[in-house]
Structure 1
Amino acid sequence: MFFKREGFPEEDELVLCTVIKVQYHSVTCRLDEYGKNGMIHISEVSPGRIRNIRDYVVEGKRIVCKVLRINKEKGYIDLSLRRVNEAQRRLKMEEIKQEQKAEKIIEQLATDEGVTPKELYDKIAPSILSEYGHLHKAFIDVVENGATLTKLVGKELGEKLEHIVKEKIKPKSVVIEADAKLSTPAEGGADLIIDVLTQSEKAVPGLEIKYRGAGTWHYRIEAKDFKTAEKLLKDATAPLSQLEKQEGTVTITRSK
């Protein structure tokens, strides 16, 4: 992983560490993002009494720690393992995972350009990191908001990078589903139901409608966020009100 931060971390910051030395009363770790060493006192490894510290950490293990104290003059960084809950650990590991995926995109562009990944990273990453903090945040901005990187890395490289980003990263989306039970005693009721379902499909491009049997139709909508999806579902089911005008019944149930 190429990603490195300058200077020292902030107090209370979550950092990814690699255990490099385990002693009876402490653990020495390498802060992977900062290239500096930190120390975990045995009291900060786990709550309660610890009989064998190696039951919790061993050399080479990667762990997520919280920064407790920093002494920049002496270069000391005190860390805690026990103050990081599972949700925080997962979030930090996911952040690292996404950054590694972003670096794979840099590697692909480097291959296309005939340079080493490290050379290209050192050339374009600093300006992106100064603006976004992480490569993957910049790439998500490109995919979801149409942001451009040309001002940060130059027109030619920026356009090539954006092209690969859009190929490799797909926008996040949400899915909502609902069942519509339809019936009408009107003459030609089946044709009327087909007609309103067709209107639903025309009202919302990309809408999926499947018959589930017993007069029930399943609606599936995918959108960039729940607010948009809810509006699309409302638009999609609006034509069904025509059945009620023909003394029909419409029962819509949201799927869980």
Structure 2
Amino acid sequence: MKYSGWPDSGELVVGKVDEIADFGVFVDLEEYEDKRGLVHISEVASGWIKNVRDHVREGQTVVAKVLDVNKGSQQIDLTIKDVNEHQRKEKIQEWKNEQKADKWMAIAFGEDVSDEEYGTVANALLSEFDSLYDSFEQAAIHGIEVLEGVELDDDDLEAIVDTARQNVSVPFVNVTGYVDLRSPAGDGVDDVKEALKAAEGDGSVGDEIELSVTYVGAPEYRIKVKAPDYKTAESELEASVARAREAIEATGGTAEYHRERSGDEE
């Protein structure tokens, strides 16, 4: 769904080249309803331009920066040359993400959702998240809890979470650490087993986190954590090691933590 307002000066926008003239390029803005901008020939590319068509073609999707907005004359001045490759790729990805979120809204609330209902839901989500895509992604990762501050009724929130979990490809990261567990006791093997159970935890880490402990070679064990972000993953890894250390030291044993497998090069 497109915005009904106007872009701001300095904003990056996605548009489709609609018309090419000797003096510049007219661009239909993909994110704004009934809005069209002009890229003057001097703003199409750096250097002297002999033929505008050597640089753009009709129907081409471009990323431009807004230079000026004159609502009175209904004119939006744009530049293409001042957008670098990194900005272009980032903006295109953001635009594609929002197109996905638009489809998810239709799934959650029906293809025939009214503009008024769509706007109510969208505004409620955008008051808490950077974008609609971000709100669905966070809902997929964290569930209903992450939407607590969103002023929508429970049915709407549940529809968002259900849709998110069925359609959003959640990004995850993996971190790995190693712990050497040693026990001098006669029943040291049992002590190590108990320490490993402690490292695995009680299963309360949350649905979005996976933690596994595997044998590498005595006395070394691998702890692997899969989580939505590095901060969470590292925190869970450290907590797992701490549980193992506490358990083995309680029996007179030792725990040595390291990030590389023994014998691996740093």
- Which residue of 226, 229, 235 maps to 1:231? 235
Q: Which residue of 1 aligns with 2:133?
A: 136
- Which residue of 244, 259, 266 maps to 1:253? 259
Contact persistence 1:203–1:235 (CA under 8 A) = no
Contact persistence 1:16–1:62 (CA under 8 A) = yes
Q: Which residue of 2 aligns with 1:114?
A: none
Q: Which residue of 2 aligns with 1:147?
A: 147
Residue 81 to residue 194, structure 1, CA distance change in 2 (3 Å): same
Total equivalences in the alignment: 247
Higher share of residues assigned helix: 1
- Which residue of 12, 18, 21 maps to 1:20? 18
Q: Which amino acid aligns with 1:240?
A: R
Distance in 2 (CA, whole Å) between partners of 1:180 and 1:49 is 63
Q: Which residue of 1 aligns with 2:176?
A: 177
* Residues 4-13 or 160-169, more deviating: 160-169
Q: Which residue of 2 aligns with 1:87?
A: 86
Q: Which residue of 1 aligns with 2:5?
A: 7
For residues 95-143 of structure 1, the C-alpha deviation after alignment (integer angstroms, 9 at most, x for no partner) is: 22222222222333466xxxxx2x3152421112333445334434644
Identity of aligned residues (%): 30
Normalising to structure 1: TM-score of the pair? 0.77
Q: Which amino acid aligns with 1:129?
A: A
Distance in 1 (CA, whole Å) between partners of 2:30 and 2:230 is 37
- Which residue of 199, 202, 211 maps to 2:215? 211
Alignment of 1:222 onto 2:221: no
Residue 190 to residue 42, structure 1, CA distance change in 2 (3 Å): farther
Residue 25 to residue 189, structure 1, CA distance change in 2 (3 Å): farther
Distance in 1 (CA, whole Å) between partners of 2:173 and 2:160 is 27
Q: CA deviation at 1:198?
A: 1.9
For residues 172-201 of structure 1, the C-alpha deviation after alignment (integer angstroms, 9 at most, x for no partner) is: 554322123445666454444333222211
Residue 130 to residue 252, structure 1, CA distance change in 2 (3 Å): same
Q: CA deviation at 1:43?
A: 2.4
Contact persistence 1:149–1:159 (CA under 8 A) = no
Residue 223 to residue 141, structure 1, CA distance change in 2 (3 Å): closer
Q: CA deviation at 1:223?
A: 3.5
Flag structure 2 segments of 5+ consecutive residues without an equivalent: none
Q: CA deviation at 1:237?
A: 0.8
Q: Which residue of 2 aligns with 1:67?
A: 66
Flag structure 1 segments of 5+ consecutive residues without an equivalent: 112-116
Q: CA deviation at 1:18?
A: 0.1
Contact persistence 1:132–1:138 (CA under 8 A) = yes
Aligned residue for 1:198, secondary structure, equals helix
